Chain A
């Protein structure tokens, strides 16, 4: 690594960044200083808008053209940059070998049309670290070090053939084989399910121990910070709120803001459920449902599930286990290959045309990426009216009144009614998506990872909102998530899915730990480990 023998691997001083759009300037970082010691894992903890990702981009010279650097110096190992605002910085020398990066969406961080081995080869050859044959050996060694088993096969794969967790580990290997002085990881595990998350974080700690890896880890997730951080910096609106040893900061927070963050988290952890379910009164019954894609890929195998009236049922599973396909089948977006889906006793799995439209009214979906599910050109009020127009419900005024009512119910302020998605926050977008689903008075609301992308505090707000609405309107909820904590707090029952089927019947969420399914136990353990020590 760096021949410099000073204790700091990275030092940032007086970093000032603002974004300029349509002549308006928004300051994101205001004179920020921090240091990163060699072999240390420093966590930058903050909610969206705190400027944490801007730091990652600023130290790698990858800020968008709209960014204005007011000042700041950077030192990476022996490389010093006195003024980051000046053009002509030799970034190509710093990137890769000085600072390497991990991105949130690892699958997208790899070139989709290149084999894994070619990624390695290109990097190693370009940096003159190996010959063509040497590159293969290095990549094999590196991947083995990162717990890959069938390395030769992996190297021949394309990114899309691998899971998100595997891609993130490959990105890590790609970064590490260049022996960087610092690894900047921007939300490296947020897109991963609990098991993969745990695996990547464990790896980071292992590499820190074994190779003295230095990491600047950027996250919004307190559990992630808890799991890996030596030190943590809490960032709020571009300003450091608090800095210190992880354990200290997370258990005895010094600043009010940190306390708020922790409180939001705990709010989720505290079970506060909606109306009790009406046992024995099924609204939805799934009987031996199977779904096969392209004649060979079985995604769902003989799934049985019952959802009672007013029940909030969680479906827990890792990415790729088939839970989203199940949601799509129920919502009528996919046609089941076998089996039946009964809505109040009537099979809805194979409906067409008008009948299908009628059922779609009774089962509504809320997606993970709410912003992407909303037409950016329409106002909140128009968006909520869309399904009414589509199904020709009510007159123009009636529709508008209904939309306004539900928007009010989900907590959208009157002045935001005429705003469009780009002018709204992610949380607001999710609220609009919920209002749009509820305006049809559905029997069942399916939430497919509806809170996974949200900040902790917003997550808590949305979950509380859903519970309140469920109490008010009495619908059932099918909550799909990989986040065991969210489901445990939110749902009456949880069913664990793996590999396209439920290993056992749904459990009361409070008694999930009693499950004898090894997979359920693994999920519980991963989540537990990461939270270990947190109150």
Chain B
């Protein structure tokens, strides 16, 4: 057991190392210089003579260590990281760690709520589609799924806002992180993510329906509800991975919805920072995102073995006991 944990931990660390290394290098390869972007906001009068500007740029670059070799920068960053320091934002001068910590609850709350919506919709409609496979309800669900899956997130988000905030006036457009503002983005995000769960739930259930233990349960005279429950339990297990992936996706990829609903999560923070090439923030964000994904996958393993006895009893299969 300890070796398994240790191996997982090592894997996670390796993942973190390479992921951050790649991001570290990539953002520096992308065009745009954070220092120039910070100093050179257009909109005011252009200065005559750029020597002061260039001096300032060089000075800031040196101060931030951006004039050094990438490898040196990375090692420095890792060193600070080892002390729990994610660095400070080039733009705001604030601690990246605390800035992310302040925004993470908003993103996690939104992602979790959306996930719950997604799961609820996925299970209910997936089950209905499987039970009514080939019938009208199934067709309707399929059409709805395809329609939703092919509509860009921002369209759905804006339509939802136009309806609930403008037309019915039941939703407040602000930049707050509050319970009252959660339901609409959560629903939108949940509805957007539900189609794939619906389709997979349907497919899984249909596969399970074809299995012998379902016929067997049926042959024991159990009613439809109980028979479906047998199949559902098995159909749900592979869904855990899907849900986890979807959660990881939500944490990292809810940027569009966060932006549309001006939800103050890390997605928007990261996006703003990417636009101005705020390296420490992007790195910090990437680290946290990768960390979350690693964590989620670890949780999946735990949940999986709780749900599927075949996993924690590995190696006991087909025991030849003479009883």
The answer to whether B316 and A111 have CB atoms under 8 Å apart is no
Q: List, in ascending order, chain A residues with CB within 8 A of B212's CB.
A: 103, 105, 108-109
Most A-side CB within 10 Å, residue of B217, B222, B223: B217
Docked Cα-Cα span, A163 to B313, in Å, equals 15
The answer to whether A62 and B215 have CB atoms under 8 Å apart is yes
The answer to whether A62 and B321 have CB atoms under 8 Å apart is no
Docked Cα-Cα span, A171 to B212, in Å, equals 12
The answer to whether A149 and B323 have CB atoms under 8 Å apart is yes
The answer to whether A160 and B222 have CB atoms under 8 Å apart is no
Docked Cα-Cα span, A92 to B211, in Å, equals 19
**CB of A269 within 8 A of chain B?**
no
Docked Cα-Cα span, A101 to B219, in Å, equals 6
**CB of A126 within 8 A of chain B?**
yes
Give the Cβ gap from B239 to chain A, nearest Cβ, in Å. 13
Q: Could you pull out 30 A-B pairs where Cβ atoms are within 8 angstroms?
A: A62-B218, A92-B221, A95-B219, A95-B221, A99-B219, A100-B219, A103-B212, A105-B212, A108-B212, A111-B233, A112-B310, A113-B233, A114-B233, A115-B309, A123-B220, A123-B221, A126-B222, A126-B226, A127-B221, A147-B323, A150-B321, A158-B313, A160-B313, A161-B316, A161-B319, A163-B318, A163-B320, A178-B221, A320-B318, A321-B320
Q: List, in ascending order, chain B residues with CB within 8 A of A499's CB.
A: 320
Contacts A95-B219, A101-B219; A293 near B309 (Cβ below 8 A) = no
A85-104 vs B, Cβ < 8 Å mask (1 yes, 0 no):
00000001111110111010
Q: List, in ascending order, chain A residues with CB within 8 A of B224's CB.
A: 92
Q: List, in ascending order, chain B residues with CB within 8 A of A60's CB.
A: 219
Give the Cβ gap from A92 to chain B, nearest Cβ, in Å. 6
B183-222 vs A, Cβ < 8 Å mask (1 yes, 0 no):
0000000000000000000000000000111011111111
**CB of A318 within 8 A of chain B?**
yes
Chain A's closest residue to B316 (CB) is A161
Give the Cβ gap from A393 to chain B, nearest Cβ, in Å. 38
The answer to whether A294 and B315 have CB atoms under 8 Å apart is yes
Q: List, in ascending order, chain B residues with CB within 8 A of A100's CB.
A: 219-220
**CB of A352 within 8 A of chain B?**
no
Q: List, in ascending order, chain A residues with CB within 8 A of B314's CB.
A: 294
Binding site for A on B (CB under 8 A): 211-213, 215-224, 226, 230, 233-234, 237, 307-310, 313-323
Q: 8 new A-B pairs (CB below 8 Å) besides A62-B218, A158-B309, A160-B316?
A: A100-B220, A105-B212, A112-B213, A126-B221, A148-B323, A151-B323, A161-B319, A171-B216
Q: A105, A113, A321: which contacts B308 (Cβ < 8 A)?
A: A113
Q: List, in ascending order, chain B residues with CB within 8 A of A252's CB.
A: none
The answer to whether A113 and B307 have CB atoms under 8 Å apart is yes
**CB of A175 within 8 A of chain B?**
yes
Q: List, in ascending order, chain B residues with CB within 8 A of A296's CB.
A: 315
Closest 5 CB pairs of A and B: A96-B221, A101-B219, A109-B216, A95-B221, A149-B323
Docked Cα-Cα span, A154 to B321, in Å, equals 10
Docked Cα-Cα span, A60 to B317, in Å, equals 31
The answer to whether A319 and B318 have CB atoms under 8 Å apart is yes
Give the Cβ gap from B173 to chain A, nearest Cβ, in Å. 46
Q: List, in ascending order, chain A residues with CB within 8 A of B223's CB.
A: 92, 126
The answer to whether B216 and A103 have CB atoms under 8 Å apart is yes
The answer to whether A110 and B323 have CB atoms under 8 Å apart is no
Docked Cα-Cα span, A359 to B132, in Å, equals 52
Q: List, in ascending order, chain A residues with CB within 8 A of B234's CB.
A: 111-113
The answer to whether A93 and B317 have CB atoms under 8 Å apart is no
**CB of A122 within 8 A of chain B?**
yes
**CB of A392 within 8 A of chain B?**
no
A141-170 vs B, Cβ < 8 Å mask (1 yes, 0 no):
000000111110010001011110010000
**CB of A297 within 8 A of chain B?**
yes
**CB of A174 within 8 A of chain B?**
yes
Contacts A150-B323, A160-B317; A96 near B215 (Cβ below 8 A) = no
